[in-house]
Amino acid sequence: MTASPTLKKISEHLNISISTVSRALKDHPDVSVETIRRVKELAGLMEYEPNGFAVNLRKKRSDTYAILVPEISGYFYHSFIQSIEEEARKKSYGVMIMQSMDDPEIERENLKICRYNHLAGVFAAITSHTTDFTFFQKTEDFGIPVVFFDKVPENEKVTSIQIADYDAGVLAAEKISKCTKQTVICLLGNPTMSITRLRRAGFEDTWAKTNRNSPIWLNAENEQAAYYILLDTCRGKCTNLAVFCMSDEILCGAMRALYELKANIPHQVSIIALSNGFMPRYFNPVVSYIETSGFNLGKLSFTAMEKKQSGNTEIVVQEMLGCTYFEGGSLN
């Protein structure tokens, strides 16, 4: 492999061999302390940077993590990524962001890229259609630890870090049951996902204890779908109503519909959401929400990754991040 131009310049300036320069930069014991000092001092002045490809080839591992998500469409994933980048930076690691566009085939191709580049680890939120986890297992067998977060596999022995989704549903039902509204609409996400089923189960189990009319259950996979579904459902009867939105994307679509219907919040319509905490503050009144923190989930996920990187990729960690209620002005 050809030596870098900077290594050659350092060797010529100090009148030592390129191999000695290379060993000095690695604090090799065969090189004197004085030579190491002189080499590093000159390397700093020349702003020398090691060849990342060569380093990775030698270590057989990259100092880069991958974050696989279906789509970066809301503030939750933005804050999760920010959290992982913050922790990775402390270790001088980089982060690669990869979107599957909710397509399992793209998800598998992304995992191939991770293996090809010998990445340090993978943080993965699966697609709503993922049923085959052999590609994730193959990645772990390759020596790359995988930590699932937020949207995680069910009934699989994997490391997963997720929001306490059932508890979030319970808390939402408790808060909305104190409203005086007669009709309750629960606007949820993709019904095939465990995240949706758990949030519905928590709400449903708690609501059953109130002896009030059963909620209207609706499903929307994105903001646009939430907008149209709520618009059609509430047109002509947008009063004495309470709405539970299970995510920030769904909240945005629901609020668009309610504004278009000129609904008075909270007098005609009460609303509560599960949220990362960013979007509710942009509405008037501020929407009451149960925090599902992407940033804190990232911290837990990174800790789990470090445990798996300790030498045993088969370590199974499964943790739940608790939820907190924040009151706005949208419940009445």
Phi-psi region of 129 (alpha: psi -120 to 50; beta: other; left: phi over 0): alpha
Task: State the CATH number of the domain containing residue 18.
Answer: 1.10.260.40
Task: Report, as ranges of residue numbers, the positions in the chain whose pLDDT lies below 50.
Answer: 1-2, 57
Q: Give the model's pLDDT for residue 2.
A: 47
Question: Could you tell me which residues come within 8 angstroms of residue 114 by beta carbon, excluding any fewer than 6 positions away?
Answer: 66, 98, 122, 139, 144
Question: Are residue 46 and residue 116 in the same domain, yes or no?
Answer: no
| pLDDT tens digits along 32-57 | 998 988 888 888 887 776 665 555 54
Report residue 331 as tokens. 């419940």
Question: Are residue 180 and residue 287 in the same domain, yes or no?
Answer: yes
Q: Give the model's pLDDT for residue 200.
A: 97
| Residue 205, helix vs strand vs coil | helix
Report d(CA 117, CA 56) in Å as an integer. 9
Question: Are residue 182 and residue 252 in the same domain, yes or no?
Answer: yes
Question: Are residue 288 and residue 216 in the same domain, yes or no?
Answer: yes
Strands (E), the chain: 64-69, 94-99, 121-124, 146-149, 160-163, 183-188, 216-219, 241-245, 269-275, 288-291, 318-321, 324-326
Q: What value, to the nearest 5°, has the Cα angle with vertex 126 and ends 296 and 129?
A: 145
Whether 55 is covered by a domain: the verdict is no
Instruction: Let me know how long the chain is.
Output: 332
Contact indicator for 62, 91 with CB cutoff of 8 Å = no
Query: 45 is in which domain, residue-wise?
Result: 5-50
- Give the residue from 31, 50, 69 where a domain finishes: 50
Question: Are residue 182 and residue 40 in the same domain, yes or no?
Answer: no
Sign of the Cα torsion 86, 92, 93, 97 reads positive
Q: Give the model's pLDDT for residue 315.
A: 67
Report d(CA 49, CA 11) in Å as an integer. 15
Whether 208 is covered by a domain: the verdict is yes
Question: Could you tell me which residues come within 8 angstroms of residue 38 by beta carbon, excluding any fewer than 6 positions away?
Answer: 14
Q: How many domains does the chain have?
A: 3
Question: Are residue 157 and residue 303 in the same domain, yes or no?
Answer: yes
How many CB atoms neighbour CB 45 within 10 A?
A: 10
- Model-level pTM greater than 0.85? no
Whether 88 is covered by a domain: the verdict is yes
Q: Which residue has the tokens 């980089």?
A: 94
Question: Are residue 66 and residue 85 in the same domain, yes or no?
Answer: yes
Contact indicator for 167, 202 with CB cutoff of 8 Å = yes
Question: Are residue 274 and residue 298 in the same domain, yes or no?
Answer: no
Task: State the CATH number of the domain containing residue 242.
Answer: 3.40.50.2300
Whether 148 is covered by a domain: the verdict is yes
Whether 254 is covered by a domain: the verdict is yes
Question: Are residue 148 and residue 207 in the same domain, yes or no?
Answer: no
Whether 263 is covered by a domain: the verdict is yes
Question: Are residue 126 and residue 174 in the same domain, yes or no?
Answer: no
Contact indicator for 150, 80 with CB cutoff of 8 Å = yes
What's the half-sphere exposure (Cβ side, CA atoms, 13 Å) at 75?
17
Whether 103 is covered by a domain: the verdict is yes
Whether 246 is covered by a domain: the verdict is yes
Contact indicator for 42, 70 with CB cutoff of 8 Å = no
Question: Are residue 177 and residue 230 in the same domain, yes or no?
Answer: yes
Question: Are residue 172 and residue 282 in the same domain, yes or no?
Answer: yes
Beta strand 324-326 with 288-291 is antiparallel
